[in-house]
Chains A and B, each alone.
Chain A
Amino acid sequence: MTEWFAIIMGTCLFVLMIPVIYRICVGPTGFDRILAVNVIGTKTAVLLVIIGTLYDRVEMFVDFALTYALLNFVAAIIVSRYLNRTISLKEMEAREKAKKEAKAS
Chain B
Amino acid sequence: MIESLSTLVLATTPDAGNEGFMLLKIVGIVSGILGLIFFLGSAVGMLRFPDFYTRMHAAGKGDTLSTMLMLGGFGFVTMDDFSLGSWLLLIKILGVVLFIYLTTPTSSHALMRAAFEDDEMPMTEEDLKKSKKRGKKKS
* Chain A residues packing against B (C-beta within 8 Å): 1-2, 5-6, 9, 12-13, 16-20, 22-23, 28-29, 31-32, 34-36, 38-39, 42-43, 45-46, 49-50, 53, 58-59, 62-63, 65-66, 69-70, 72-73, 76-77, 79-81, 83-84, 88-90
Contacts and interface: CB of A to CB of B under 8 A. Distances in A.
Q: Which of B43, B63, B95, B100 has the most CB of A within 10 A?
A: B43
B88 interface: yes
Nearest to B117: A84
Contacts of B71: 45-46, 49, 65
A39 to B, nearest CB: 5
B114 A5 contact: no
A1 B89 contact: no
A88 B113 contact: no
Interface in B95-120: 95-96, 99-100, 103-104, 106-108, 110-111, 113-115, 117-120
6 contacts: A2-B78, A23-B55, A31-B52, A35-B111, A45-B96, A45-B100
Interface residues of B, number: 46
Contact residues of A: prevailing secondary structure = helix
Interface in B74-106: 74, 77-78, 85, 88-89, 92-93, 95-96, 99-100, 103-104, 106
B98 to A, nearest CB: 10
A69 to B, nearest CB: 6
B27 interface: no
Contacts of A31: 52, 56, 111, 114-115, 118, 120
A40 to B, nearest CB: 10
Which 6 residue pairs spanning A and B have beta carbons closest together? A76-B107, A80-B110, A83-B114, A80-B114, A88-B118, A19-B47
Contacts of B114: 31, 79-81, 83-84
A89 to B, nearest CB: 6
A36 B6 CA distance: 44
B103 A16 contact: no
Nearest to B115: A31
A73 B43 CA distance: 20
Interface string B3-37: 00000000000000000000001000100100010
